[in-house]
Structure 1
């Protein structure tokens, strides 16, 4: 700019550009569109950031308790201040994969005109709620076979709560314990266990009982000239 505040380019004074009304309107439309895109991006970033801190696994629609999962989803929405129907529906889509995602795509077409969370909720439960006994059998029949005692107990409690979120602490403790090997059960003092957290802590101390490396023991075969009927025995693992 020169001393008179005129714009200069390579020693040439630039003339002032006069914008007509149509160009002003066009610029206003572009500005509004940019604001819309910016708002949409901020909204996406906000929802994405919120859902990253959700304590919730994705819903696949297979072997999961739909009612229990949806209750946890709603609790997480409340915890993050996501209360409007529109936002809940948008966030729900982010946690659905496989069969769950297929359900959402079809349901969104059918219920987009309704747009209420209650409608989506009812459709979700009607589609995925298990009306059989497979989850109950899985929860109560789940037993420890090998590995970590703590991992077993955590998994067992999760299965039990998915079947019945209101199950008493005592019932959960009893069900977890009876799924353990007898030699582990006998090392647990029933009088000292009053919470599942207490039981988990107890089981951590007993991990050495099941984490011992197997030892090879060789049993010699009976000599051929023995009076006892000889049977060749091979090494076995204990």
Structure 2
């Protein structure tokens, strides 16, 4: 037997929430048809078929529920031993397969497709699945997780939370996880997502995406750990400091014990705060948070409004007004009303002095001896 034809079909799981690929029948080269029992139809049970190149193409071809493909697969020694006994009877997992004619197979397929109840149920399931896919963004709004930008949180910790949220909303299919994964990425992470989509697409396995994500954004240095350990209280709320310190420590070491975590948080507090807290009474971080809430008044800054001092400049009396005997007036000489007048008087004095000097010079020239 050089080759066998296997009929593949996409079938719904018993709960109707997901699909699986099934092998429904097997054809031989002499046109014999053998039915595969329903409990043995899952392709995952036929391990030697899964490893064939033909199955990889079939998996990429079957994308919707109830789609079918019939493919010839070249037999190997393992395939022959799996589906034939020593007498060349068709078997699978110690079960003899039922032989039927091709006419009977066509009738079975027709009955299954024309059953009105089956059609109604299939339509309801398809409608429900389409509705769930359309509301993927609404479902993402219910996720209790912050968006990842490559710098705000540990990649491994974030991925752990993301997978827990997927499990909480029963997102088990690889395609569903890959699709909703995009809605929680920001900044350069969206470029990484686009590159992965070009290389792998929706039909790839989620494990490939997860592994690549952790390798790309894994924190390979000590900067995060050093920042978390050196983070200390500077100002503001004591409770806000303690909560942030706890988050930073849990991101770098999730398995840290309560006692060590409390000691590290307390080490970053001022001495006058820790001196007022009884360490023996603090068993959990919530106890420490409660104590810090009672001590908030010690670090609350009170704002006092200081009265502004009178810094008005002392004005000097105007010298122009004094010269003109206008009384003692306090304003600048540049803004004095009589500035123009005093300037005009100064110009007149300069002209008179010039005329007098010219007259004296003329008289001297008249009485001077011309011989000289």
Superposition TM-score, scaled by structure 2 size: 0.46
- Equivalent position of 2:133 in the other structure: 43
Q: Whose Rg is larger?
A: 2
Q: CA deviation at 1:212?
A: 3.3
How far does the alpha carbon of each residue in 1:89-144 deviate from its partner, in whole angstroms, 9 at most, with x for none? 11111100102111111111112275111000000000000110011011111101
> Is 1:98 the counterpart of 2:187 in the alignment?
yes
The secondary structure found in structure 2 opposite 1:156 is helix
Higher mean C-alpha displacement, 63-72 vs 106-115: 106-115
- Which structure would you say has the larger RCO, counting Cα contacts within 8 Å and 6 or more residues apart? 1
**What are the within-5 Å matches in structure 2 for residues 55-70 of structure 1?**
55-70=144-159
**Residue 62 of structure 1 contacts residue 99 of structure 1 at CA under 8 Å; is this kept in 2?**
no
Deviation at 1:79, TM superposition (A): 1.3
**Cα-to-partner distance string for 1:138-163 (whole Å, 9 max, x where unaligned):** 11111010111111111111110110
Structure 2 CA distance for aligned equivalents of residues 78 and 153 of structure 1: 31
1:84 aligns with 2:173: yes
Q: Which residue of 1 aligns with 2:205?
A: 116
Q: How many residues align?
A: 181
Decide whether aligned partners of structure 1 residues 147 and 113 sit closer, same or farther in structure 2, where only a CA change above 3 A counts: closer
Contact 2:175/2:203 (8 A) holds in 1: no
Structural mapping, 1:115-134, within 5 Å: 115-134=204-223
Q: Which of 213, 224, 228 matches 1:139?
A: 228
Higher strand fraction: Structure 1 or Structure 2? Answer: 2
Aligned partners of 2:150, 2:127: CA distance in 1, in Å?
A: 33
TM-score in terms of structure 1 length: 0.71
Change (3 A) 1:63 1:57: closer
| Alignment CA distance shift 1:93-1:132 (3 Å) | same
The residue that corresponds to 1:149 in the other structure is: 238
Q: Supply the RMSD in Å over aligned alpha carbons.
A: 2.2
Where has structure 1 moved over 4 Å in runs of 4 or more?
Answer: 36-42, 214-217
* Cα deviation, residue 62, structure 1: 1.5
